[in-house]
Amino acid sequence: MVPNQLSSFLERRFRKRLKGFYTPLESLDGRGIKDNTHVTVIGGGIAGSIFVRQLALQAHKAGKKINITMVNSTNCNYCGGLITNLAMDTLDELCNLDIPDDIVLKQVTECIYINKAGSINVELAKPLTATLRTSRFGYIGFDDSIKNRVTQGLPKEAIERIEIIEPTLAKKVLRLSGQEHKWEVVLSKRNPDNTNKVLKTDIVVMACGFRSVDKPMLKNFQETTGYQPPPYIPASVTEVDTSKATKNLISNRMFILDGIIPDCVVAFIPKGPKWLTLTTLNKKLSIEDLDIIFGHPQVQEFIELSNPSDCLRCHTICGAKVYLGASKTFYGDNWFVIGDLTGYGRVLKDGYFAAVLGAQLAAETLVHLGADYQSLRKGYHNRLKHFAKDNFYGRNLFKLNNWLSQKDWFAKTFIAVAQSESKYKYGSYVHSAIRALANGELSYKMIVFLFAMGLIKHPFLTFRALMGKKV
């Protein structure tokens, strides 16, 4: 079997699909939360919205009458958004929801990998969908489109038990003792008319994302419950107006810029003919970094944009956080966390898939097992653990790559090996590994294997690069 055939076989054989992550939880007689339990969800992003929908649906199927309140603010939640096919299939299979045409800004069909030695074109077998996360610039965001369809297709009885309060903020979450309800959620004064300022509830679900990590509300929640946020690295995102570019060949291509900014990976995601999202991992970009990125010769082969700092659509670069491991404590009696705040997902990629799956697992656990610590450990935590082992490879691959990307010999070898694979339609080992980083369809363990096979197959190129010779 020639290399391209082997790599193609490995891509097909080990492609990630929902069935590899998810087994439905069986209903157990007499278990699960009781009728008229009140569940309050703080945060209406993708994880919070999917959780509300799936909890209502699961409860209805089990014949349980559960009251659900979702408290949501409407501030910007970062503009970036790239939906993998795994995330789309999961959303359809678990939630019977699709991706509306009006939120699709681009279909990404190619990935361009760039390091300081050159570039590689990697064709994607299936397009990826580029969107906004929350609504901006007159476009509907993916998270908002899901929130707006929380009740779509649900039975009337289930819909009547869902309350959504927005725009508002949860200011404090207090544990009660010796009272009918177990929690008190204090809302800000910025509430819709006739909304209670204090909610009494039985179960609290935190779905407010990493933007809340340094906020007083979550710090108060940590002190009350012992919740520990997962370890994370800095990141950033901004939207770039490319209408003033003197050359723009971005088209349907996404870009991975590896090591152009030291210890940092940068991505371009096209959102329109004159618009792209710029995201980073391991650093919040500065204005000076923008000049370096758009001034790089490999980047300028595709786009020439003078004074990029004057072309930011929001006139700022937003700092962000990306989890790099699992939270040590993210649930307890009658409380738990979902979404990014768990740190359980595929690190450094495919956050939408992890959010949808985690919300489904949590909803099933409440309905079929219960909200006590032991039930959450069995039905929720233990079913999230399949992410943990592969994330070890992902973290260390990222660290190793940040170190190697600054070595001239490695950058030259990597490009030379990948270019030697270009004689095949979809490339071979290195192309497959880069494709998997873009589309999220292989485990990190398999990506490490593919990178290693590509480099091992060409020891002569590596030797010449080490000797400082042209490769």
262-272 pLDDT per residue, tens:
999 999 999 99
Superfamily (CATH H level) for 31-99+140-231+324-390: FAD/NAD(P)-binding domain (3.50.50.60)
Over the range 249-269, which residues count as b (16 or more CB within 10 Å of their CB) and which as e? ebeebbbbbbbbbeebbbbbb
Q: Would you say residue 119 has pLDDT above 60? A: yes
pLDDT (average), residues 107-124: 95
Say yes or no to pLDDT of 288 above 60. Answer: yes
The answer to whether the CB of 245 falls within 8 A of the CB of 305 is yes
- Per cent of the chain over pLDDT 70 is 95
3.40.190.170, 3.40.50.300, 3.50.50.60, 3.30.9.100: which CATH number matches 101-130+233-321?
Answer: 3.30.9.100
Q: Model confidence at 424, in pLDDT bands (50, 70, 90)?
A: confident
pLDDT, average across residues 122-143: 92
Cα 246 from Cα 251, distance rounded (Å)? 14
Numbered ranges of CATH 3.50.50.60 in the chain: 31-99+140-231+324-390
Average pLDDT, integer, range 233-240? 95
User: Given pLDDT bands bounded at 50, 70 and 90, which one contains residue 2?
Assistant: low
pLDDT score for 104: 95
- Fill in the amino acid letter for 232: Y
Query: How many angstroms separate the CA atoms of 107 and 112, rounded?
Result: 15
Q: Give the mean model confidence (pLDDT) for residues 49-57.
A: 97
pLDDT band of residue 50 (cuts 50, 70, 90) is very high
d(CA 83, CA 99): 9
Chain Cα centroid distance, residue 13: 24
pLDDT score of 189 more than 60: yes
Which residue is listed with tokens 């999917």?
50
What's the pLDDT at 73?
85
What is the average pLDDT score of the chain? 91
Q: Report the run of H or E that residue 70 belongs to, with start and end.
A: strand 67-71
User: Where, residue-wise, is CATH 3.30.9.100 in the chain?
Assistant: 101-130+233-321
Q: pLDDT per residue over 346-397, tens digit each?
A: 999 888 999 999 999 999 999 999 999 999 999 999 999 988 889 999 999 9
pLDDT-derived band at 77 (thresholds 50, 70, 90) equals low
Task: Please provide residue 112's backbone torsions phi and psi, each rounded to the nearest 5 degrees.
Answer: -105, 115
Q: Residues with Cβ < 8 Å from 12, sequence gap 6 or more? A: none
Of 37-46, 79-88, 124-133, 442-451, minimum mean pLDDT range = 79-88
For residue 126, pLDDT over 80 is answered with yes
Q: Cα–Cα–Cα angle for 324, 131, 428, nearest 5°?
A: 65
Tell me how far CA of residue 243 lies from CA of 248, 250, 290, 294, in angstroms.
9, 12, 17, 14
